[in-house]
Amino acid sequence: MNWPLLVLGASFIVSYSFLILDEGQLPPAWRNGMLAAAAVTWLAFFVDYVVRLAVTPRRWRWYFVTHSVIDLLSVLIPLFRAFRVMHLLREVPYLRLKTGNAVRTRIIAYMVGYAALFVYFIALATLHVEQDAPGATITDFGLALWWAVVTIATVGYGDTYPVTVVGRLYATGLMIGGIAIVGAASATMISLISEKIGISLHRDIREDERDDG
C-alpha cells in the first residue's frame, strides 16, 4: 500500500493547500472535490493503519504502535498525512546502503524534507485558525510562512504571533520541532567533521610511517 498511500498523501497536500488558501475564488464543485479528496485520504490512512494493526501478532502490537507513530498521527492529525510522502525516500537505492555517507545523506534528506513539509503545513494550519481571529497578526500565507520560518529557526522577531489557543499549540509544536531539527543537523555535521578529521589523521600517520620506512 506504500505507493497508493504516497499518491493519496500528495493529493492531500494539494487539496488541503487549496482549501486553506482559497479566498472564495474556487467554484463550489472544485471545493467539494477538494473536500472529498481530503476525506478519501483520511479514510485510506485509517483503513491502512487498522488493517496493519489487526494482522500484527498480538504480542507485537505494542511494538507496532510505538514504532509507527507517524502512521498513527497521520490518522489523527491532518498535518501528518503529508509526512507519509517522505516514505518515498526509502525507495531510493543509495539511501538504503549502510555506509557512513549514505546514512548521513539519508538523515539530511529526511531532515530537509520533513522540515520543509513541517514548516509549510504548520503555516497553513496556523493561518486557518488565525486569519479570522480578533487581533490576529497572521492574516495571509506570506505572514504565516514568515512566522513559521523565524520560529523554527529559533529567531522569533515578535512581529507576527498566534493569538488563538490552537495557534499557540501549533507554535509550541513548531518550536519543539525546530529544536529537534537543529539538534539533528548539528549531530550530522559533527559526525561528518569527525570522520573527515579521522581520515586526515590516518592518512598523515601512514605517510609518516612510509617516510620513516
Domain boundary among 91, 120, 143: 91
Residue 211 and residue 122 share a domain: yes
Residue 132 and residue 58 share a domain: no
Residue 120 and residue 106 share a domain: yes
- Say if residue 97's pLDDT is above 80: no
Q: What is the CATH number of the domain that holds 168?
A: 1.10.287.70
Q: Nearest-CA neighbor of 100 among 195, 5, 3, 30?
A: 195
- Say if residue 126's pLDDT is above 80: yes
pTM beyond 0.75: the answer is no
pLDDT at 173: 84
Residue 22 and residue 78 share a domain: yes
Total number of domains in the chain = 2
User: By residue range, what is the domain housing residue 60?
Assistant: 1-91
Residue 137 and residue 83 share a domain: no
Q: Nearest-CA neighbor of 186 among 111, 117, 133, 106?
A: 111
Q: What is the 3-state secondary structure (H, E, C) of the chain?
A: CHHHHHHHHHHHHHHHHHHHHCCCCCCHHHHHHHHHHHHHHHHHHHHHHHHHHHHCCHHHHHHHHHCCHHHHHHHHCHHHHHHHHHHHHHHCCHHHCCCHHHHHHHHHHHHHHHHHHHHHHHHHHHHHHHCCCCCCCCCCHHHHHHHHHHHHCCCCCCCCCCCCHHHHHHHHHHHHHHHHHHHHHHHHHHHHHHHHHHHHHHHHHHHHHHHHC
| 19-48 mean pLDDT | 80
pLDDT at 202: 60
- pLDDT tens for 133-188 read 888 888 888 889 999 888 887 777 778 889 999 889 888 888 887 777 666 666 66
Give me the long-range contacts of 86-92 (CB less than 8 A, separation at least 24).
Answer: 86/110, 86/113, 86/114, 86/117, 87/2, 87/5, 87/6, 88/6, 89/113, 91/2
Residue 136 and residue 59 share a domain: no
- Say if residue 93's pLDDT is above 70: no
Residue 135 and residue 52 share a domain: no
